[in-house]
Amino acid sequence: MTIINLVDIGVFSTFLPYLFVQIGMKSKPHPMLVSMFFLMEPLISTGIGNYFFGETLTIVNWCGAGLVMCCICIFPKSSTKGIPHE
């Protein structure tokens, strides 16, 4: 049973995410936009842990998630001036 769990972790949390990143990078998005989407990974992981596994979040966790979300929302408005439009 442990080997099956290790294979699942290796496939679903390592191989597939990196495969999807490589497939997505073929469309040549701007690096700043890609980094913005990578900032969302901890928020999604925290949300999944909270919703599906019942993990509790402290006020510090909520403030950190809110701060990251604010930065993600502000980022495109402040940095798209230098992005060439295709």
**Res 78: pLDDT:** 59
**Res 84: pLDDT:** 56
**pTM for this predicted structure:** 0.55
Q: Are 27 and 86 in contact (CB under 8 A)?
A: no
**Res 59: pLDDT:** 94
- Rounded distance, CA 86 to CA 80, Å? 13
Q: Report the 10 Å Cβ neighbour count for 32.
A: 13
**Res 58: pLDDT:** 92
**Res 47: pLDDT:** 83
How many CA within 13 A on the CB side of residue 15? 7
**Could you state, in chain order, the average pLDDT of each consecutive group of 10 residues for the chain (86 residues)?**
80 80 75 75 82 88 89 70 55
Q: For the chain, give every domain's residue range.
A: 2-82
**Res 12: pLDDT:** 79
Nearest to 72 by CA among 45, 46, 35: 35
Single-letter amino acid code for the residue at 3: I
